[in-house]
Amino acid sequence: MISQTYLFGPFIGDVRYELNYFVGHAIYLRKQNPANKIMVLTRREHFDLYGKYATTLLPLPLSKELITDGFDCTNMRPLAFDEILRKLQMKFRNKTKIHDHFYPKLGTFIRKVKWYYPRNEVDFDFKPRPKNKKIALDIISSFDRLIISDYHKAFKKRNKHQILPFNYFTDKLNLKKTTDATMFGVLIEVIRLSKYVYADIDSILGRLAMLTCKPLITQRDFIDAQYLNPINPYGSLVIGCQKLGDGMKYFGGLHANNI
């Protein structure tokens, strides 16, 4: 197969939108032909969503004061995204032949339209860079039967399970001394090593749980199947209940019956 070069980004908005709408297609294109080149312009903290599938990761310098909203930022000055896009295209125009460029069309009428690539054109087999797994193993080394929770703000024991609050990753995980690991890369690896995830389906933790096929317990009383289907492409187990214990009993019953 002839190799192709694909450019993804710039991505300035909410990480969930980048994750669900673009990351899976980038991984798919690289796995279709390992000789393909995937170049990504995104926030540095998003690098390990693409991980080892990206051949070039380009950090997008953005102010911490920006407020993300979908693919965009509510407080970014007008035409700023267009300027970033134009500079990016000019940079590669005479250096690399780009076979296709994937980015949110913020200047068009479809900017608010939700769309997804077909199921056979996405792949969420995340492969964060190796340093992320090393850090993840260090984090869980003293834990057994780990549950990562959006709903807890502190470490807690629950029925022989250790609850690890999501804010540990956002507030306490210090990665300033490493350039080859990110919060999201470490989070993906810890999710894989956990028993369950306790989070809302619209949180980044809940989205990553579904995409890594980790059983998800959410406090929603009603889950709309039509809404869930696009963000849960692998049909990962999701149960809605107000109490964590009820969800644990449900999944425990499934395991006991080898379901």
Checking if the pLDDT of 1 tops 80, the result is: no
d(CA 61, CA 127) in angstroms, rounded, equals 24
- Helices 183-193 and 130-140 cross at an angle (nearest 10°) of 60
CA 216 to chain centre: 15
Q: Mean pLDDT: which of 12-16, 48-52, 89-93, 101-105 is highest?
A: 48-52
* Residue from 135, 149, 146, 126 nearest 219 by CA: 149
By DSSP bridging, strand 37-42 and strand 56-59 are: parallel
pLDDT tens, residue by residue, 63-84: 888 899 888 888 888 788 888 8
- What are the structural domain ranges in the chain? 5-117, 131-256
For all residues of the chain together, what is the average pLDDT? 89
| 47 has a pLDDT exceeding 90 | yes
Give 220's contacts (C-beta < 8 A, 6+ positions apart). Answer: 200, 201, 240
